[in-house]
């Protein structure tokens, strides 16, 4: 059996593991990710809730409605403040979205397969050579969903 994937917050109070190699890996440029992560883009991947195990720590969950109208819970370490994962997403039930930078070995997973909410991209960040979506990838071009105020989750 392959070694489990592991990760942690900056101070190490929160640690987690999961088994299955993530298939959905994305760079999200939405304003919500920019603000909640403090970075120019949010890089994250999804793990099935059943596969995600918190090994230590008591993440503080911040629940709110993102611009898309969906509810999410951003989980961060109350000690060091690192945003580690997002769960209870009304738009993606059963999935946990884990911040890529929290992995102990980020090189072990495949690179992003898409970039989303590129309409909020900070102009000096370069596009990766993967499909680019101005909003959510499931929003049809020109549809109200594509032009509605967005935020992933
Ligand atoms: Zn911490
Ligand atoms: Zn986002």
Cα 60 to middle of ligand 1, angstroms: 10
What pLDDT is recorded for position 150? 65
Average pLDDT, the chain: 92
Q: Is 144 helix (H, G, I), strand (E, B) or coil?
A: helix
Q: Are 39 and 120 in contact (CB under 8 A)?
A: no
5-144: CATH topology? 2.170.150
DSSP class per residue in 19-75? -SPPS-EEEE--HHHHHHH-SSSEEEEEEEGGG-EEEE--PEEEEEE-TTS-EEEEE
Cα 83 to middle of ligand 1, angstroms: 9
Which pLDDT band, with edges at 50, 70 and 90, does 55 fall under? very high
Decide if pLDDT at 143 tops 80.
Answer: no
Percent of the chain with pLDDT over 70: 95
Distance, CA of 144 to CA of 97 (rounded, Å):
25
Q: Point out which residues pair with 6 in neighbouring strands.
A: 17
The residues spanned by each domain of the chain are: 5-144
Cα 105 to middle of ligand 2, angstroms: 22
Cα 25 to middle of ligand 2, angstroms: 12
Cα 46 to middle of ligand 2, angstroms: 13
Q: Rounded to the nearest 5 degrees, what angle is found at the Cα of 106, between the Cα atoms of 104 and 112?
A: 150
Predicted TM-score of the model (pTM): 0.92
């Amino acid at each position: 059996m392959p070694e489990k994937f592991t990760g942690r917050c900056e101070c190490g109070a929160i640690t987690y593991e999961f088994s299955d190699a993530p298939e959905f890996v994305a760079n999200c440029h939405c304003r919500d990710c920019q603000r909640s992560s403090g970075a120019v883009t949010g890089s994250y991947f999804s793990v099935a809730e059943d596969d995600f195990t918190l090994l230590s720590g008591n993440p503080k969950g911040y629940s709110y409605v993102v611009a898309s109208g969906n509810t999410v819970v951003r989980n961060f370490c109350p000690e060091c403040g690192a945003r580690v994962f997002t769960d209870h997403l009304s738009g993606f039930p059963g999935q946990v979205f884990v911040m890529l930078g929290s992995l102990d070995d980020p090189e072990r997973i495949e690179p992003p397969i898409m970039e989303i909410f590129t309409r909020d991209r900070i102009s000096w960040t370069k596009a990766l050579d993967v499909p680019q979506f101005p909003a959510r990838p499931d929003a049809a071009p020109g549809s109200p969903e594509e032009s509605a105020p967005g935020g992933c989750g």
